[in-house]
Structure 1
């Protein structure tokens, strides 16, 4: 392997992404200023994990970062909108996100709803206007992101989650919930990068798909474990919320130890999925290790 590792450049990648995101958001002072200020607030900070996965996949496929800037921004806008709406009183009713007051607490509930609406629509506009992609690539990305974010993906998972409160789900039901709620958007990060690569061979697409499915589910199991073992200051959100809301989680269904073992198996499977890609997949291996050792 030659050149600096992805891990040694990750802060540069985050900085590049932040600049790309700022360029694609309306100026915070532009009319209606309160809404635009709240959109900037909602998208500030965080781990930027999903954009990092997009850029890591792009490097694995030998793409120029300019080919996936729009995809990375769109993914983060969808993710941010989902958090804003997830925190609302009618949903999870939370006061803290990324160590700061949630959008509906910082501004107001109506503004928070509109922020989510605006970020969701802006995500698709960003891809539709990306000059680094040809029209067919833009259409494919929009199709992929809309399915991952909609009723057959993230929003559908959220609906199942709300319907499941106070119920004891089976392991299969719980896995299906999280494949939709969390896994669909993480998988979309890999697929968007694939769409930016013309004539990508099926074998590499399948490898990235398998990796994305494993990482997405492992990430959610970790979230369930951290909700028990983490503290509010480290997590940047209210700890213990799942148990207080009587939600089915992996530790509740499998036991804490078994949940940790299942996550470890999925991280191993993710790395195995990349075995045929050689040194080119170093960025995605770094992502897997980074997620595996996270504390928030």
Structure 2
């Protein structure tokens, strides 16, 4: 039987999502591909610094700690293959066991998400993220300026999600955008018992909970999840009922009624936070690694 990733949680991410290649990327923007490749080759034996998604990847790979291969992390990058050498060397120096990578030298790499069966794609390239979302894959553009604290909560993988247009569809958000807060609250009160349709990140949350159940007591790391939403009562009920209908249990829920999310995320301390609105991402990035999910009506403007 051939090798398969069908029973794994597969995470694909770009080189800039995993490592801090911002200086190298500026050179690429200023001088082009050849200069970028030369610099990466010159720094081949210089391990890159941790990037926005580094804590997330390190903790996900910890679910393989007992020798069972539950998580597969794949580099999916517009880098050239020579630059890919530095990525793998940097991963080895950081103690990350990465075995697979696709390097496309400037071409969109998101097409390879399908044969990988990826449940998450992280990239600093907005066009690739948008294409991946349109193809049905959970995907987010990393905020490269995010605060990264690699050593927080060493025994837990903490991930926080926005609700509408991330875990849930943008059905309710469309009502809010079209008719305002009162109409939104009335709509959600009326439909409280009807589960919201799934959003782009429901498959990831399901896969994460399946991973936690499979690992059980075998590894010393636990998953802790949070819903961090601008909803407030009475619209909170439909969100909770939807998760219950899906058979998903989250650990924390924050119904903030429009308050800035950053201070609350600073207290929760996630290894990654996903939101569909740029303003929330900007606030969140001051507290934690953050990814923008370019889905839903707010991203159609």
Q: Per the shorter chain, which TM-score range?
A: under 0.3
User: What TM-score, normalized by structure 1, do the two folds share?
Assistant: 0.28
Q: For the pair shown, which has the larger CA radius of gyration, 1 or 2?
A: 2
Higher strand share: 2
Name the one with the larger helix percent: 1
